[in-house]
Amino acid sequence: MFKKRDNIKEVEEGKYLAPKFDENGLIPVVATDFQTGGILMHGYMNEESLKKTIETKEAHYWSRSRKKIWRKGEISGFVQKVREIRIDDDQDSIWLFVDIGKGASCHVGYRSCFYRSIPLGNIINTEKLEMDFKEKEKIFDPKEVYKNEPNPTKL
Amino acid sequence: MFKKRDNIKEVEEGKYLAPKFDENGLIPVVATDFQTGGILMHGYMNEESLKKTIETKEAHYWSRSRKKIWRKGEISGFVQKVREIRIDDDQDSIWLFVDIGKGASCHVGYRSCFYRSIPLGNIINTEKLEMDFKEKEKIFDPKEVYKNEPNPTKL
């Protein structure tokens, strides 16, 4: 669908979008909060969801758990309005700048999926690395919002 | 090496680090600039590189092109000092806050790998989507820094 990846110089220094999708047809995507700058979530897109995101200016991902295109917010109402999209040097990962207003991006209920911080320094026991919760309050109650939807988290 | 992923509730709401590595033993990692907040790069870690990053407070990745642990800056000198590490809800992606001083993170020579912006709105021709360069100046000359090292970008 997008430009063919003909040569490395063009991929890195050229002006044409020529994204690389992996063996599953996916490209990793990071969404940052347009207001705070922090990372909200890490997900994946296929060709079609990238095209839809560019055209509609609303974030569309590929749901690996449901195996379908996922318009972020279609169940929760927490839509991500896309203000800018960037791609990296070798065009194999994408950065979305999104506006979520006072909403949330995490299915557990927090604003950002990255609510826990890993302790730094010497590790005494790798099996008991205690993290620190950086977000203290949930924005919404997942049970109320998702009702009987299956949890996307896999072990 | 890290805690076993026993149940979803603990993975999402628990305090113990229990990262999920994919079928290749890797977890995606995003590094943001401690000074500006912007994304510098997207990479991958294996178990060992995550442990080394926590312990040394310097970013270690897994180089997919060289198939080895890669201490960021080992060739270029552009080390990433890690100020904080976060993990997401289902513990399958990592966010590093890094300090790179006046350095760079992109092998093409820019400060951030994400120097190009994709145009938003209706697409006339997906094969000719012209991007906008957001970083105008390179920080370093890759030919001088990397000399005869192979380019990690793959088509």
pLDDT of residue B58: 98
Tens of pLDDT, residues B73-115: 999 999 999 999 999 999 999 999 999 999 999 999 999 999 9
pLDDT of residue B69: 98
Interface of B with A in 114-153 (CB under 8 A): 114-123, 126-131, 133-134, 151-153
- Cα–chain center distance at B155: 19
Contacts of A55 in chain B (CB under 8 A): 121-123
**Candidates A116, A117, A124, partner chain B, best to mutate (most B CBs within 10 A):** A116
pLDDT of residue A64: 93
Contacts of B85 in chain A (CB under 8 A): 117-118, 120
pLDDT of residue B72: 97
pLDDT of residue A109: 97
Backbone φ and ψ for B23, nearest 5 degrees, come out as -65, -15
Phi-psi region of B115 (alpha: psi -120 to 50; beta: other; left: phi over 0): alpha
pLDDT of residue B22: 96
Model confidence pTM above 0.90: yes
Distance in Å, alpha carbon of A7 to nearest chain B alpha carbon = 7
Q: Which of B15, B82, B120 sits opposite A85 (nearest CB)?
A: B120
Q: Are A22 and A16 in contact (CB under 8 A)?
A: no
Determine which helix (DSSP H) or strand (DSSP E) holds A27, and give its type and residue range. strand A27-33
Half-sphere CA count of B105, side-chain side, radius 13 A: 28
A10 class by beta-carbon count within 10 Å (0-12 exposed, 13-18 middle, 19+ buried)? middle
Q: Are B135 and B153 in contact (CB under 8 A)?
A: no
Q: Are A87 and A17 in contact (CB under 8 A)?
A: yes
pLDDT of residue A114: 98
B24 class by beta-carbon count within 10 Å (0-12 exposed, 13-18 middle, 19+ buried)? exposed
pLDDT tens, per residue, chain A with 155 residues: 999 999 999 999 999 999 999 999 999 999 999 999 999 999 999 999 999 999 999 999 999 999 999 999 999 999 999 999 999 999 999 999 999 999 999 999 999 999 999 999 999 999 999 999 999 999 999 999 999 899 999 99
pLDDT of residue B96: 98
pLDDT of residue B35: 92
Q: Quickly state the pLDDT bin for B49 (edges 50, 70, 90).
A: very high
One-letter amino acid for residue A150 of the chain: P
